[in-house]
Amino acid sequence: MTTSIIGYPRIGANRELKFATERFFRKELTEAELQAVAAQQRQLNWQGQAAAGIDFIPSNDFSFYDTTLDTAFALNIVPQRYQDLAISPLERYFAAARGHQSEAGDVKALAMKKWFNTNYHYMVPEFDDDTRLRLDLTKLLSEYREALALGIRTKPVLLGPYTLLKLIRFTGQTGIADVQADFVALYAEIFAQLAAEKITWLQLDEPALVFDLSEADIALFKAIYTPLLAQKQTVKVLLQTYFGDVRDIYIELLDLAFDGIGLDFVEGRKSLELIETYGFPANKKLFAGVVNGKNIWRNNYQQTLEILAKLPKEAVVIGTSSSLQHVPYTVNAETELSPSISRHFAFAQEKVAELAALNAIFFEGAEDYLADNQALFADKRFEHNLAVQAKVNALSAADFVRSPEFSVRERIQKEAFNLPKLPTTTIGSFPQTADVRKNRLNFKRGEISKATYDSFNQEKTKEWIRWQESVGFDVLVHGEFERNDMVEYFGEKLDGYVFTKYAWVQSYGTRCVKPPIVWGDIARVQPLSVADSVYAQSLTDKLVKGMLTGPVTILNWSFPREDISLSDSTLQIALAIQEEVLDLEKNGIKVIQIDEAALREKLPLRQTDWNSEYLDWAIPAFRLVHAKVAPETQIHTHMCYSEFTDIIPAIDAMDADVISFEASRSDLSILDALQANGFRTQNGPGVYDIHSPRIPSIDEIEAVIRRILTKVPLEKVWINPDCGLKTRGVAEVTASLEHLVRATQAVRATL
């Protein structure tokens, strides 16, 4: 038993689960038919891993929406508003994930946040004073039995009690201390049910251990697991960590009665040092995460073997550094990529094969695998552009400073634009309806000309510009009908990227992204968006925003190269986007939005590393993009679904003129942080949740606006949804936005 996987992609090699689930939402598929698709995907995953020779194959890593939400439902951490809905259990689960609006009831979704330092989003469990814990392991046990019926004995995966308690949002008087003993009892019951099922191993995921831990955190962990592990019966318990190292609690972990401990040797910079300094017990298994679960590059076997050689061989299980849900399914589908490039990629299926190869080399001395891998790494990787490198090297401190300073620009722009109080706008995209997608596909296939393709998009833009004017929006957008994705679209127009066709990765629920791959130095060789923005502005006397994606988000939502630093790659992108910003300005675009939705995504999990390893270059990279624009040009940015409250000063230091935040799902919690930090930037906290199909009422939005005005000065407030509208339907978008404008007008009338 020497190879292990933490988790596997669940959306399907061709996004089968995504499409089936969305058909279920549209009532085009029955629940039984959806469950059949899910069972087929689970079977393919298990059989593929078994065929590759993986010993510890996970089960219960599958989810229809989110595994954290699955764990909450398994423990009955389900607010009463969802339990009161007269709908099926699966529909109730989806109601918590995405909201629900029907005759059965009208409820908002749970809050949604980024999963540690990834682009995956989890649903935040909500615990109120009426919550009553109760165990239901139907999902976990049924999936274990499914695999067993195929002849595959799996290790079920479950979010551990410590991390779950840290992620829960307690909404009443109840807190962690009040429910700690109940959690121990509930997880002990899990052990009992698994023992009765004769399940050998249980994987408890505890990624929260890689944060900076206080003495109280360590005491809480020990207070949970000391009595819990005394009740594990015949079940062997694997404590699985990832996304960093456990330097603050490593010694304590060794003393607890875990049967296995999973450590990350990719992002865990001190994991090897901890082993070398404190050793590892002979009576435990060391699940060594040495194959990167988050990037798409081939593993360098020689480097990995050097790590493995320093570990106690008799204890080692070779594994992934994290779940493989953060990478696409297989490189084999990318038949249009040059083999000279694709041979350097490893998606989930290939990483499983890498585990088997490393196992054969390390434990069996199979040198052929090593020789082939060394030949691969001797081959040329990545393209270099000396001119781009020279531009980055020539940057000075002055290149990152915009003048005049913020308050002067703010006065100039208010006088120039003469916008009303509480100006209304949207974040950028409008629905990508079936005809929009078909137009793009026909053009990609060569079935229509560029002129025909552009003409269609212009008609869509005209239609939505006219609609925004009729509703009464103050600052308009062109709708982005020409864009497939906010990162891939720009990457396709920049030098230095390569693109896949089927390399989809789950972002949340049924939402998938296809990150482009950085293959060389990045350069702008053509305008990226100028023509579309200029056309849209020609249709109206109102301001139309130029829409761009910022350099940090472009880099964070790409698969970055390995031979240069993230900061250098980001500065290359920043210089390219800067050229586009100045081109937009030169062509008469007066408001330019540069989205940084993923700003926090690669922020180190340990706060002590925030500045030195990330913010000290990420914030200047954004400033570089807009530092040279005129004071009359208004720079907007947008951020979503991350915890921003602890980096508010850094966000203010981006020196944008206006920022819109996701705020609705987090119950406007960011407002207190803005107020406490004296946030100077004009801002638009999202007034309704676009990731839910429900339509907010006028009264609901008006109440949100009035609440915002109790925390943010009137002259600083913009009114907008909390994110782009690309994935939503036309009917819900038009109704919701009409309500937004009417609610704003109602509030203005009382000012």
Q: For residue 610, what pLDDT band results from cuts at 50, 70 and 90? A: confident
Tell me how far CA of residue 148 lies from CA of 88, 369, 650, in angstroms. Answer: 28, 31, 51
Query: How far apart, in whole angstroms, are the C-alpha atoms of residue 365 and residue 352?
Result: 19
Residue that wins the pLDDT comparison between 487 and 255: 255
Model pLDDT, residue 665: 74
Binned at pLDDT 50, 70 and 90, residue 486 comes out as confident
DSSP 57-100: -EES---SS-HHHHHHHHTT---HHHHTS-S-HHHHHHHHHH-E
pLDDT for the residue 65: 97
Indicate the Cα dihedral angle 603, 618, 727, 641, nearest 10°. Answer: 40
Residue pair 263/271 in contact by the 8 Å Cβ criterion: yes
CB atoms near residue 134 (< 10 Å): 12
Asked whether 725 and 468 are in contact (CB, 8 A), the reply is no
Q: Which domains does the chain have, with CATH numbers?
A: 3-378 (3.20.20.210), 412-685+707-717 (3.20.20.210)
For residues 293 and 322, the answer to whether their CB atoms sit within 8 Å is yes
Q: Out of 257-271, 521-535, 606-620, pick the least confident.
A: 606-620
Please answer whether residues 453 and 402 qualify as being in contact, where contact means their C-beta atoms are separated by less than 8 angstroms.
no
pLDDT the model gives residue 312:
96
3-state secondary structure of 710: coil
Strands 236-240 and 201-205 come out as parallel
pLDDT at 549: 95
**Percentage of the chain with pLDDT > 70?**
100
Cα Dmax for the chain: 78
The pLDDT-based confidence of 588 (bands split at 50, 70, 90) is very high
Q: Which residue has the tokens 């929006």?
A: 473
pLDDT at site 66:
97
What pLDDT does residue 381 have? 83
The per-residue pLDDT for range 648-691, each reduced to its tens digit, is 899 999 999 999 988 877 778 888 888 888 899 999 999 998 88
pLDDT in tens, 285-331: 999 999 999 999 999 999 999 999 999 999 999 999 999 999 999 99
Residue 641 has pLDDT above 70, yes or no: no
pLDDT score at 674? 87
* Whole-number pLDDT of residue 691: 83
* CA distance linking residue 146 with residue 58, whole number of Å: 12
pLDDT of residue 642: 58
Per-residue pLDDT tens for 25-68? 999 999 999 999 999 999 999 999 999 999 999 999 999 999 99
Tell me if 476 sits within 8 A of 543, measured CB to CB. Answer: yes
Are 702 and 746 in contact, with CB atoms under 8 Å apart? yes
Q: Which tokens sit at 449? A: 């000309």
Distance CA 199, CA 204 (A): 14
pLDDT single digits (tens) 103-139? 989 999 999 999 999 999 999 999 999 999 999 999 9
Q: Report the b/e string of 446-464 with b at 16+ CB within 10 A.
A: eebeeeebbebbbebbbeb
pLDDT tens-digit series, residues 387-434: 999 999 999 999 999 999 999 999 999 999 999 999 999 999 999 999
Gap between the Cα atoms of 355 and 308, Å rounded:
12
Q: Quickly count: other Cβ atoms within 10 Å of residue 545's Cβ.
A: 25
DSSP structure string for 160-192: -HHHHHHH-EE-SS--HHHHHHHHHHHHHHHHH
Other C-beta atoms lying within 10 Å of the C-beta of residue 309: 9
Instruction: Give the pLDDT confidence score for residue 717 in this predicted structure.
Output: 97
Residues 259-275, mean pLDDT to the nearest whole number: 97
Query: pLDDT tens across 87-105, in order?
Result: 999 999 999 999 999 998 9
Least confident of 460-469, 477-486, 642-651, 725-734: 642-651
* Residues labelled as active-site residues: 691
Instruction: Give per-residue pLDDT as tens, 707-733.
Output: 999 999 999 999 999 999 998 999 999
CB 692 within 8 A of CB 108: yes
Please report the beta strands in 466-542, taking only residues with DSSP state E, as ranges in sequence order: 475-476, 494-498, 505-508, 511-513, 517-524
